[in-house]
Amino acid sequence: MCKNCDKSISCCRQVKVSGGFWERRRAATSTTCCFVFTVAVPLTTVCLQAAHKTFRIKTKLAKKMKQNRPIPPWIRNCTGNKIRYNAKRRHWRRTKLKL
C-alpha cells in the first residue's frame, strides 16, 4: 500500500534526482493519485558543456561514446548467451559523466 494515498504501490512512482531530493504526496483537490515533485539541485551539479573543449576532454568524451553501445551479437554466441546486454550502458540524460 502507498503511504500517501491508500492505494496499491503500483500507482505511486518515485523519481530520484542526483544532488536533489524527491517528494511524493497526494493532491487535495483530486481523487486520483497525483504527485508533486520538488527538486532542489545546486548549480554546481549542473554540467554545462563548453563550445570550445580541450583535447583531453574531447578524447574522454570520444572514448565514452565508443563504450556506450550494445554488445555485438557474436559475443552472445561465444559466451553461450551468458552475457546478454551491456551492463555499463549509459543514457545521456539520466547518468552524467563526471568530467
Rounded to an integer, the average pLDDT of 12-22 is 47
Q: Where in the chain is the domain with CATH 1.10.1620.10?
A: 49-93
**Reduced DSSP (H G I as helix, E B as strand, rest coil) percent helix, strand, coil of the chain, to 5:** 20, 0, 80
pTM of the entire structure? 0.49
> Which range has the worst mean pLDDT, 13-17, 77-81, 89-93?
13-17
Asked whether the beta carbons of 3 and 14 are under 8 A apart, the reply is no
The CATH T-level fold of domain 49-93 is Atp Synthase Epsilon Chain; Chain: I; (1.10.1620)
